[in-house]
Amino acid sequence: MEIRKKEVLRYLGFHAASPDEATDALIDAVTKEALACVQPKSIYREVSLRYLDDARTEIGGTVFHSRKLRAHLKQSDRILVFAATLGISADRLVRRYLADDAAKAAVAQAVLAAMIEGYCDEICAQIAKEEGKNGYFLRPRFSPGYADLPLTAQRELFSLLEITKRIGVTLNDACFMLPTKSVTAFIGLTRDKGCAERGCAACDARECAYRSEE
């Protein structure tokens, strides 16, 4: 599993700044330990997709109310529901660090955040490779809690994918996931190459929340 240190530093708030030697060494040490303990799992399936209007999209028979989601899925005629997790061992690692070293725990949170995103990217790259054989391209992931899609949409997504049964991720009353280093998302499939071909560096949509640093 690839972990981009640049992403870890971004989560830690460094942005363009460089870490000192001690921080850099700590990141490497935590990354090594995290890689040894996480147990990543992912699932996805295709469900039905129907556009009702500019603010309502029927996915897998459930209506989701979100103008941003509808706009994000532009030109998609198929859709996947997706979930991934690093497993409970990731949460245990952070709790162990918190008990005696807050700085190390903060680094672990950043490392694991970069790790789950990197893992999701790897799985999506595999899906894209397969779908590319059929002339389809993946839209970026769109998750409950982003923009105007409420976090409560997690409940319907969990039901569509049977996430708890299949990969052991649960949802609490506030719709937060446990283990915490977990991701759910909708992924549109389109025949339009769009950003899938051009990449973020060639795109003018600077405000895009899914923009990567290239």
Neighbours of 13 (CB within 10 A): 9
Q: Provide φ and ψ at 96, rounded to 5°.
A: -65, -40
C-alpha dihedral, 34 to 174 to 73 to 83, nearest 10°: 40
Beta bridge partners of 142: 186
The span from the CA of 83 to the CA of 185, in Å, is 6
The span from the CA of 188 to the CA of 69, in Å, is 10
* 214 residues of the chain, pLDDT tens digit each: 878 889 999 999 887 778 888 889 999 999 999 999 999 999 999 999 999 999 999 999 999 999 999 999 988 999 999 999 999 999 999 999 999 899 999 999 999 999 999 999 999 999 999 999 999 999 999 999 999 999 999 999 999 999 999 999 999 999 999 999 999 999 999 998 875 544 444 344 444 544 544 4
Q: pTM (2 decimals)?
A: 0.88
Nearest-CA neighbor of 106 among 1, 9, 213?
9
Q: How confident is the model over 82-97, as pLDDT tens digits?
A: 999 999 999 999 999 9
Is CATH 1.10.3720.10 the classification given to domain 5-193? no
Residue type (1 letter), 84: A
**Helix-, strand-, coil-residue percentages of the chain, each rounded to 5:** 45, 20, 35
Which SS3 state, helix, strand or coil, does residue 108 take?
A: helix
